Structure 1
Amino acid sequence: MTDNKTETKSSRKPASAAASTATAAPKAAKAALAWTHTARFLTTASRLAELPATELPEIAFVGRSNAGKSTAINRLAQQKRLAFASRTPGRTQHINLFALGPKDAPDVLFADLPGYGYAAVARDAKLRWQKVMADYLELRRSLSGIVLMIDSRLGATDLDRQLLAFIAPRVANGAVKLLVLLTKADKLNRREAQAALAALQAVLGEFTTAEADVGVTLFSALSGAGIDDAAVALHVWTHAPAE
């Protein structure tokens, strides 16, 4: 599968992997994957107030239950059980932080947020976690990027669109970068894959501005599609030279 990556609009950093239509260069991919492989568990929290204050840039992973979020994190980190994937969707109800970089001087944090949209979760639990996620995405000062997992076979659901609308102000003004991974892309043929990319491009175009850094790529933990591109995008987000 080729041409698995696209851009939404001009970015403040045109060279950013998140905004590039080209496949990640081998050297850049090797460096990025070596960096993501350093990911290790830091802490877990059930409320925003329990998360440690930090000056490190934080990248949040969000998505519907069953969209392949934990699997994507594990694949990016080249570790089998870094992010815990519950056998029962919707049961993971904590924000888990992972540190990346040198052990004595981490440079980035990954935040694995609970999946949303699983019908079997009790209403009270849903409401509580909606508030926790909303508070995190709106108020977490160290949040610098969001990776949204969307099942490529389903496209952006109503809940995905609601989340995109919620984060739109911070993305539109460039405060928070956004990368959408269209997961389970191995289930699509070439025509379906291109249609999925085009559909997501249209959705993202609704709020993308000249200041926004927004990208989307097909991703498959099974085939490996998009892994290099995603790793490079996250590495560039947090390690690009200051302008």
Structure 2
Amino acid sequence: MTPKQKLHRARLQENRKILAYERRYTKIILTALNEQVKQAIDSRGSMSDQPMYDALAGLYRVVAFDFVKHQYNLLDRRLKTKNVSFFINTWRTWIEAYVFTELAKKVADINETTRNKVREAISIGLDQGLEWDKIAKLIQDKVGTLGKSYRALMIARTEVSQAINMAKTKSSDDWEQETGERMYKIWIHRYANSPRDWHLALDNNIAIPKEQDFEVVNPKTGTREMMAFPHSPRASRENTINCSCTVMYMSYRFAKYLANNS
């Protein structure tokens, strides 16, 4: 099997896993969104971050852990060093640290959209002198659409992809430290109904050194960002929201074969 064929098979395998996770967590996130709308109505405006936090904490614990192992195993096919079980506790600790330190900020940002709609509905209702049951109907009309499948899917797709890219990068870091081998990477664009053409252009099977950033340029706006990988923490919302691109790390040897046989 040629390097190009191996890469194609790995991409198909990953895509199946990602699609399954997107479907699974779309349902879980939809439940969280609907629970928050119910809270806002029952408590006359108050809404907890907890349902969304619990949904995304579960997502990161499962998806990140799966893909940190998956990427390491892909790298480990050519050279066996320490068994993947050696890193299990380290990876779990790393994921928990993210869940407890960074996830709350992300959840607050996601929930602010819902809160703004709730406030807007209440303000309109009060200005019109409506009773609470009528205001509740306004909340359902304005916020209920946010609880439908599209927004849940958008959140799931964004967060699954971020979890995957973080996990793959962590795994490649551990691989480098374990083997001393220089790593390369490629950008992988997944299918989308309205693809970002500038992301699609980066999916060219040309591997670059891991330490080198991808140059991400939106020709429509002229915006230029240097990203270590899709969903890089310093990237703008323009390049992350509803993006399902991923990175794949590989050895120099595989990158060279890929370049020579593509």
The TM-score bracket by the shorter chain reads under 0.3
Query: If the length of structure 1 is used for normalisation, what is the TM-score?
Result: 0.26
More helix by share: 2
Q: Highest Rg: 1 or 2? A: 2
Query: If the length of structure 2 is used for normalisation, what is the TM-score?
Result: 0.25
